[in-house]
Every structure is written in C-alpha cells, then in structure tokens.
C-alpha cells in the first residue's frame, strides 16, 4: 500500500517528521518497507529556460537547444516534440542522477552534437506519468531556481499492510492509527452534501446473496474532464495515473478511504441492471482490455445485453466512462469477500478493488461512498444527481465484545493504565461502555474477540515497557531427547565420523527415476518442476543425483549421507525416517604411501555396522538380500527378528546407468523406524583374565555358496566361554581348489577362564571346532 505524506495530511494534522511517521507506523504493526522523500531525489534539478531551438543537422526529430540555467548557456540535444523558445522546464545538469534510469547524466554527443545536460519529462523524475514531452513548468520563477521551490515535495511511504487490516488499504486508515498513537489530530471532513433532483431512473435488482447491499445513483448531464490539480497531485503522489475526473474520483475514494466504487456510462447500459451470478461461459471484455470467460457463481453486474462488470473486481470496457460521457451511474456496494477472492483467483485478476473487497471493506461505507462520490462528481463535472438507490441492507456488522481489561495483563504481563487503554480504543474508533467494547464497522473483519482487543491496546501503547520474565519458572528441569531422537542425532555424527558428508536433498524427485526405487507413486498435484513431481520412495536416488553433480564438477570420489524422510503414501504419517549414504569412486585415492582401492560393499557394510553400533543397536544377522536397486549378488541386509534394520550393497549397474554414473558406487539405507528401542544402561562388569589367550588358525574348504557368517557363527557356538573372537584372515578361490570351492582361513582366539588349558584340552576344543563347522556347513579342514 502506497501512501504519500500529502495524502495523509488530508486526514491528519501533524507536525511529525516523515521519519517519525514511518517509525511509528512500523512500531504499531504497519511496517514501512520503503520511504522515499522526493525532496532529496529532486534536490539537484533546477528550472532552466530554453533560449533558442534549432533542428539537429543529422536528425529529423531531435532539436539542438541553447538553455539558460541562470549562470551559463548550455547546449542540449533534446528529442521532445514540445520544445519552444521561452519555455521553462526541468534541467538535469551533468552529474545529476535521473531516478527513473538510476543513472547520472554525462556530457556526451548525440549524433555528433554535444549535449551538456537533459531536460526532463514528468515520469523521468518520478513526479508523474506523462512522457509525451518535457515538463512545461509555466512559471515566473527565474532560471536557476531549484526545482523543489516550484514542485511540491512529498514523501512516499510503502506500507506492508497485512491481511488483518483492510481498513489500512485506505490512507485514512493509516491516519486514524497515527492519531491513536499520538502523532497528530484528526481532520474531520464535513459529511457529503448531495442535492437529489429525480428518481433513480434505471431498474436495479440484486439476485445473489454475495451482494448484501448495492447502492447506486444516476447523475445526468455531467461533463467529464481533466481533474483539478489537487486531485491529480494526490494521485500522482502515490503513482496513480490521473485519467479523467470521473475515473480519478473513484480512485481517490478507493485509495484514500478504502471505498472502491464503479462508474458506468449510463447511456451504454441497455435496459435494467441486475447483480447476479454469471452464467457458465458468459464473456466480458474488462477494463484491462482482456476478455474473460466467466463461470457460474461469479458475481457480476449485467444489463439486458449481458455482463457489464465483474463485481468488485473490474468493470467492463463497453460501459466504461470516457471523455464524452454525459450520464453516469455510480456504484457503491458491499460484496462478500470470499466470493470476490474466489472469482478473482480463478480469473487471475489483480486490481485495487479486488484487493480491498476480498480483505473486507467497511460494510457501513456504501451510502457514504455513494454520497461522497456524487458530491465530487457534481463539483468537478457538474450534472444533476438522482435519488440514491439502495438495494439490500448493510450486513449485520454490529459487535460488542465482553472485555475484561485485566486480559492485557494476563496475556502480556504489561501494566497499562486503565484510562490509557480506554483512550487507545476510543481513538481507534471503538466505543467502550459497560464492560463491552463496540467494534467500529471498519474493524469488524479482524477484531472479534478479547485477544484482538489486547493486541490493539499493546500495539498502540508500545512494547517498550514489556517486562522480562523467565521461561523456566517452576523447575530447572532440562529437556532430554527421547531414545529415537537421540538415535537420529547419533547416527548423523556416526556417519560423518565414517567420512561421509551430510547432504540435504529435496523430499521430491523425478517420477521416472522413482520407478527404479520401489515407487509408491506419491505424486504431487502441482510440482514445482516436472522432474520434482513425486515424493521420494528412497534416499538413494537424490543422493545418486548429487553424486553425479559432484562428479560432473570434477569431484570424482563422493561420500554423502542424508538422514531424512521417505514416503509411501500421501496420508500424513505414512513416511519413514531413513539414514542413507552413497560412496562412489575411490575409497583410497592415488597416494605415495597407499595403494588405490575403489569403494566396495564392505565400506558401506562397515558404515551400517558403525552406525548401528553407535546407536547401541545389535547388528542382527546379515543376509544376502537387498532391494532391486542394489546389485543382486553384491548386496545384503541386516535383520533383527522380523525387522530389516538396514540394507547395503553395490548400486545396480542398470540404475547407475540411468544416472550417468560410471564409477564404482555403493550405498546403504538404515531404516530408523525399524530399530529396536535401546535403553541406556551401564555396561556389564569387565572381566579380565590373568591367563594368556592363545590363538589357533584353521583353513576350511567348502562350497562357494556357504556364507562366511555361517562358518563364523558355527565356530563361535562351539564354546561361548572360551572362544572370545573369531575372524577371517584369508579367502581363496581359484586354481588350487576344485571348481565351486573356496577356502576360508580363520583365526580363533581362545581365552582360558579359570586355569591354563592343557594341550589335550586345546586339542579337544580344536577337534570340536572342526567337527562342528564340518557338520553345519559341509566344510572340511584343508589337508596340510
């Protein structure tokens, strides 16, 4: 909302500086986004007089002027058609900043002729919208006088008016708040005076409840013309282009008082007027010169020929007023905000009227608006007014709130004197009587309850006296994370500790790629881009995309993880938290001290183990099963009971191909929701033995299909007291063995508990190991 200081001063008598006004408006909830003081913008412009005019030797439209700036004669090349000798205009000398270009004037040559400055049009210095020629100041002030002595200077406030303050979409509303906050006195305008000469001559009816009240007046024999200077200046001051008196009057009341109006050319209305719902497919060419196709439920004003105005949004071009208009019908109505919002949104029209009606205008301003407009039309354009035509009634807006003034203290902790509270409310237009607060008609859209009145009081009173009070009054209890929250926090740092970098990627992705990852087709109705159209079913695809982006930037070795949601339905809550990661390229890069090694399955298996261990979760059992986006023979899962805790493996080559990734790439996903709850407890007492542990190595030959895990667990189970560690130190398959056979070399650590083991006891244990492994896996001890 743009409001100028000059316009504010039509309603507000104040000596406050623009800065004070801006600060105050911001402080009471009407935030000033920008304040422009055109006195400072215009300070370098001066009045200059054209002394000679000659045609440019090399152009048919440019002129070469001699311009007197009060101290010297300047040669200026000018393209304006209206130059003439003796004309006084606005000079921007060399070095002066032209606001509309954002550039300073430089000395230069235009088609070979030197130009030492620029004469300006209205729009170029931001004081109007005219660009047909340079400004013709028509003044007695001598050349050399600063322009600011001729032009009225003004200050423009750009106010961020929020949805709850429709009244402040009128300059008057802003002025009212400034009065309440003590920045000036209210200037009461006399009520409009209208002389009625004849009955409203057109049949008018309303058939749709979205228009509870429609007020109209016919004025005959008007003469439309250019508006007087005061009106043009006001409109110009907020960047509204003056058009003609009839149009300017409606804009004046719309911007000034938040009272949108419409004026029809009465001679272009055929038959009777009706305010009704549009019929499906009806068309109207609106004032923006665009044709709109309407649908059922859109409120319109129609005559016998058809729709002539989209109610509260935009009038039609066919019945618009022109400079030739002789008779007019003024419309001042109240339209249902929701109806206006729906229609305008569907038609995608943004207009001053729409913006105000959809937020809610003052429901008691219809008759006033009609009268004020009539008065102005008669003053500016002459003519005779009819009686007003009122169809329907004001909505029932009267509201009295039961208000306990202690609410202010209860909700804010502030002590505001009772009398001050009463003054604030009354200055804002509320009437306080007998424990009730009556809400003024222009505030009924947002002030409905005691809490709303508390806001009114504290925002005007100011928050400087807001006391401080701690947020931890009762106990000093520190909040702690629940186990699953702690697990999430730990998994991030565990994975980062493994060398993975934490990424955050979109929750959505390309549906075409999602199909590779067990998509549940959770598609968005209005995606922001066609390749971000489905909720991700897995963390892997977006991490692969990030991997590819990194590799395209020359970062070949990628290690990324993310902890975030994946989705399997559009029902709230049907999502899972996953910690997933990708490793691509080399695990150990080329280095003088190391052999290079590409990433492999055991890197991500280790990531999973490290993460699960860090969270205190048992690792469960590893199976060679993983979802289809992993390599079918190089992937696995960690399973505990029925729950799959995590999957890992090489990413399927076909998937990598889709992403354009050429390096070895492995990944993992830890299903956080499937992890068992871990209670933090003290560890078991440490048992250390004074006896030396001993180790024995075994080499077993077995079928290739036999999993290492099976062999290891067989060994472990032989004697859980004595066998404390089992590890694989070599895997061999090849020429020295029969086909489909492999050999595992296993180291077993035996820790005597109470006494040293005798040779024969050790011998027995080893035999047990060999026999048990053989029995369980079919493996045989390699013959020496």
Q: Which of residues 171-230 bind other proteins (CB under 8 A)?
A: none
Q: Stretches 276-284, 426-434, 452-460, 776-784: which one binds other proteins (CB under 8 A)?
A: 452-460
Instruction: Burial-class residue 279 by CB neighbours within 10 Å (0-12, 13-18, 19+).
Output: middle
443: DSSP letter: G
Q: Stretches 9-17, 65-73, 194-202, 473-481: which one binds other proteins (CB under 8 A)?
A: 473-481
| Cβ at position 23, least distance to other proteins in Å | 11
Binding of residue 413 to other proteins (CB under 8 A): yes
Q: How far apart are CA 600 and CA 581, in angstroms?
A: 13
Helical packing angle, 366-381 and 245-257, nearest 10°: 140
Q: Stretches 2-10, 98-106, 222-230, 404-412: which one binds other proteins (CB under 8 A)?
A: 404-412
Binding of residue 402 to other proteins (CB under 8 A): no
Q: Stretches 278-286, 306-314, 371-379, 445-453: which one binds other proteins (CB under 8 A)?
A: 445-453
Q: How far apart are CA 526 and CA 296, in angstroms?
A: 25
**Interacting positions 133-162 with other proteins (CB under 8 A):** 162
- Indicate the residue among 641 and 660 with the shorter CB distance to other proteins: 660
Applying CB under 8 A, among 528, 654, 677, 728 the residue interacting with other proteins is: 528
| Concatenated DSSP letters of 519-542 | ----B-SS-SSTTS-EE-S-SHHH
| Cβ at position 336, least distance to other proteins in Å | 10
Applying CB under 8 A, among 454, 509, 579, 661 the residue interacting with other proteins is: 454
Applying CB under 8 A, among 85, 466, 677, 753 the residue interacting with other proteins is: 466
In the numeric block, which tokens belong to residue 644?
């799959």
| Cβ at position 31, least distance to other proteins in Å | 7
- Indicate the residue among 400 and 610 with the shorter CB distance to other proteins: 610
Binding of residue 358 to other proteins (CB under 8 A): yes
Contact 645, 579 (CB under 8 A): no
Burial 377-402 (b: 16+ CB within 10 A, else e): bbebbebebbebbbbbebeebebebe
| Cβ at position 477, least distance to other proteins in Å | 6
Tally of CA atoms within 13 A in the half-sphere of 624 that contains its CB: 10
371: DSSP letter: H
672: DSSP letter: G
CA distances, 26 to each of 33, 238, 442 (Å): 9, 19, 21
Contact 15, 190 (CB under 8 A): no
Q: How far apart are CA 146 and CA 144, in angstroms?
A: 6
Q: How far apart are CA 132 and CA 125, in angstroms?
A: 14
In whole angstroms, how large is the CA radius of gyration of the chain? 41
Contact 620, 645 (CB under 8 A): yes
Binding of residue 573 to other proteins (CB under 8 A): yes
Binding of residue 280 to other proteins (CB under 8 A): no
| Cβ at position 600, least distance to other proteins in Å | 14
| Cβ at position 434, least distance to other proteins in Å | 21
Applying CB under 8 A, among 220, 436, 438, 459 the residue interacting with other proteins is: 459
Binding of residue 435 to other proteins (CB under 8 A): no
Binding of residue 410 to other proteins (CB under 8 A): yes
Q: What is the distance of C-alpha 653 from the center of its chain?
A: 40
Q: Stretches 10-18, 150-158, 407-415, 433-441: which one binds other proteins (CB under 8 A)?
A: 407-415
Binding of residue 472 to other proteins (CB under 8 A): yes
Applying CB under 8 A, among 259, 262, 372, 492 the residue interacting with other proteins is: 492
- Element containing residue 754 per DSSP (H, E): none
Q: Stretches 187-195, 265-273, 369-377, 492-500: which one binds other proteins (CB under 8 A)?
A: 492-500
Which residues, other chains included, contact 421 with Cβ-Cβ below 8 Å and sequence gap of 6+? 405, 408, 457, 461
Q: How far apart are CA 699 and CA 780, in angstroms?
A: 8
Q: Stretches 5-13, 374-382, 430-438, 506-514: which one binds other proteins (CB under 8 A)?
A: 506-514
CA distances, 17 to each of 24, 155, 459 (Å): 11, 10, 21
In the numeric block, which tokens belong to residue 667?
């990944």
- Indicate the residue among 318 and 455 with the shorter CB distance to other proteins: 455
26: DSSP letter: H
- Indicate the residue among 470 and 738 with the shorter CB distance to other proteins: 470
Binding of residue 559 to other proteins (CB under 8 A): yes
Applying CB under 8 A, among 24, 217, 356, 359 the residue interacting with other proteins is: 359
**Interacting positions 21-40 with other proteins (CB under 8 A):** 26-29, 31
- Indicate the residue among 553 and 720 with the shorter CB distance to other proteins: 553
- Indicate the residue among 546 and 702 with the shorter CB distance to other proteins: 546
- Indicate the residue among 187 and 463 with the shorter CB distance to other proteins: 463
List the alpha helices (DSSP H) in 30-90. Answer: 38-42
Binding of residue 439 to other proteins (CB under 8 A): no
Q: How far apart are CA 466 and CA 463, in angstroms?
A: 5
- Indicate the residue among 503 and 726 with the shorter CB distance to other proteins: 503
Contact 181, 460 (CB under 8 A): yes
Instruction: Burial-class residue 209 by CB neighbours within 10 Å (0-12, 13-18, 19+).
Output: exposed
Binding of residue 455 to other proteins (CB under 8 A): yes
- Indicate the residue among 553 and 736 with the shorter CB distance to other proteins: 553
Binding of residue 501 to other proteins (CB under 8 A): yes
Binding of residue 552 to other proteins (CB under 8 A): no
Applying CB under 8 A, among 228, 271, 497, 518 the residue interacting with other proteins is: 497
| Cβ at position 731, least distance to other proteins in Å | 23
Determine the straight-line distance between the first and last CA of the chain, rounded to whole angstroms: 93
- What is the SS3 assignment for 686? coil
Which residues, other chains included, contact 253 with Cβ-Cβ below 8 Å and sequence gap of 6+? 259, 260, 261, 369, 372, 373, 376
Q: How far apart are CA 251 and CA 176, in angstroms?
A: 20
- Indicate the residue among 610 and 745 with the shorter CB distance to other proteins: 610
- Element containing residue 406 per DSSP (H, E): helix 406-412
| Cβ at position 104, least distance to other proteins in Å | 23
Q: What are phi and psi of 97, to 5 degrees?
A: -80, 125
Binding of residue 406 to other proteins (CB under 8 A): no
- Indicate the residue among 525 and 692 with the shorter CB distance to other proteins: 525
- Indicate the residue among 501 and 780 with the shorter CB distance to other proteins: 501
In the numeric block, which tokens belong to residue 746?
């296993």
Binding of residue 480 to other proteins (CB under 8 A): yes
**Interacting positions 56-95 with other proteins (CB under 8 A):** none
Applying CB under 8 A, among 399, 414, 619, 749 the residue interacting with other proteins is: 414
- Indicate the residue among 193 and 481 with the shorter CB distance to other proteins: 481
Binding of residue 588 to other proteins (CB under 8 A): yes
The site that binds other proteins (CB under 8 A) totals a number of residues, namely 105
């Amino acid at each position: 909302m743009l409001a100028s200081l000059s316009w504010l001063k039509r309603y507000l008598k104040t000596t406050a500086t623009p800065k004070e006004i801006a600060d105050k408006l911001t402080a009471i909830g009407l935030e000033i986004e920008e304040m422009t003081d055109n006195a400072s913008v215009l300070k370098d412009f001066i009045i200059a007089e054209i002394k000679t005019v000659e045609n440019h030797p090399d152009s048919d439209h440019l002129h070469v002027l001699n311009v007197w700036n009060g101290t010297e004669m300047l040669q200026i090349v000018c393209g304006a058609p209206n130059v003439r000798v003796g004309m006084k205009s606005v000079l921007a000398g060399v070095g002066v900043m032209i606001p509309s270009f954002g550039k300073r004037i430089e000395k230069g040559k235009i088609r070979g002729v030197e130009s030492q400055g620029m004469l300006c049009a209205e729009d170029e210095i931001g004081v109007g919208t005219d660009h047909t020629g340079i400004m013709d100041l028509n003044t007695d002030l001598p050349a050399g006088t600063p322009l600011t002595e001729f032009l009225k200077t003004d200050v423009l406030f750009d106010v961020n008016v929020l949805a709850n303050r429709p009244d402040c979409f009128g300059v008057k509303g802003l002025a009212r708040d400034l009065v309440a906050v003590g920045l000036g006195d209210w200037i009461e305008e006399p009520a409009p005076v209208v002389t009625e000469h004849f009955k409203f001559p057109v049949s008018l009816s309303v058939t749709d409840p979205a228009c509870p009240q429609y007020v109209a007046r016919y004025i005959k024999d008007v003469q439309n013309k250019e508006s007087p200077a005061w009106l043009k200046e006001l409109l110009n001051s907020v960047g509204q282009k003056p058009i003609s008196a009839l149009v300017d009057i409606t804009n004046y009341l719309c911007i000034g008082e938040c009272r949108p109006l419409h004026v029809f050319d009465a001679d272009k209305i055929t038959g009777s007027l009706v305010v009704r719902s549009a019929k499906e497919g009806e068309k109207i060419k609106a004032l923006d010169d665009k044709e709109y196709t309407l649908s059922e439920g859109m409120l319109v004003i129609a005559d016998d020929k058809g729709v002539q105005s989209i109610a509260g949004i935009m009038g039609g071009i066919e019945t618009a007023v022109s400079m030739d208009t002789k008779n007019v019908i003024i419309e001042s109505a109240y339209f249902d905000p929701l109806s206006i919002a729906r229609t305008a949104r569907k038609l995608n029209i943004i207009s001053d009227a729409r913006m105000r009606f959809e937020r809610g205008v003052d429901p008691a301003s219809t008759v006033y608006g009609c009268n004020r407009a009539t008065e102005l039309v008669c003053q500016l354009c002459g003519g005779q007014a009819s009686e007003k035509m009122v169809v329907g009634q004001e909505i029932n807006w009267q509201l009295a709130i039961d208000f306990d003034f202690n609410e202010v203290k209860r909700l804010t902790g502030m002590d505001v004197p009772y009398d001050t509270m009463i003054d604030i409310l009354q200055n804002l237009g509320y009437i306080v009587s007998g424990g009730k607060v009556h809400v003024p008609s222009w505030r009924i859209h947002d002030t409905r309850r005691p809490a709303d009145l508390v806001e009114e009081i504290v925002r005007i009173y100011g928050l400087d006296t807001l006391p401080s009070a701690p947020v931890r009054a009762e106990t000093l209890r520190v909040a702690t994370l629940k186990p699953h929250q702690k697990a999430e926090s730990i998994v991030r740092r565990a994975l980062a500790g493994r060398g993975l970098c934490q990424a955050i990627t979109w929750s959505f992705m390309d549906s075409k790629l999602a199909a590779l990852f067990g998509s549940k087709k959770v598609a968005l109705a209005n995606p922001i881009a066609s390749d971000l159209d489905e909720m991700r079913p897995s963390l892997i695809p977006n991490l692969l995309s990030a991997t590819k982006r990194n590799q395209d930037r020359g970062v070949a070795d990628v290690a990324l993880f993310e902890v975030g949601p994946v989705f399997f339905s559009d029902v709230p809550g049907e999502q899972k938290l996953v910690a997933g990661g990708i490793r691509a390229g080399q695990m150990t890069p080329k280095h003088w001290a190391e052999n290079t090694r590409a990433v492999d399955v055991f890197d991500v298996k280790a990531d999973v183990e490290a993460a699960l261990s860090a969270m205190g979760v048992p690792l469960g059992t590893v199976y060679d099963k993983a979802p289809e986006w992993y390599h079918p023979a190089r992937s696995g899962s960690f399973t505990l009971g029925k729950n799959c805790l995590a999957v890992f493996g090489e990413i399927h080559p076909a998937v990598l191909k889709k992403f354009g990734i050429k390096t070895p790439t492995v990944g993992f996903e830890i299903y956080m929701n499937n992890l068992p709850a871990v209670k933090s407890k003290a560890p078991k007492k440490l048992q250390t033995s004074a006896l030396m542990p001993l180790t024995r190595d075994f080499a077993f030959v077995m079928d290739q299909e036999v999993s290492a895990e099976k062999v290891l667990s067989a060994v472990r189970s032989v004697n859980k007291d004595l066998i404390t560690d089992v590890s694989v130190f070599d895997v061999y398959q090849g020429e020295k063995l029969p086909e489909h056979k492999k050999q595992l070399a296993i180291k077993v650590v035996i820790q005597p508990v109470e006494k040293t083991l005798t040779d024969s006891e050790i011998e027995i244990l080893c035999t047990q190991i060999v026999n048990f492994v053989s029995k369980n896996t079919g493996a045989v001890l390699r013959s020496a």
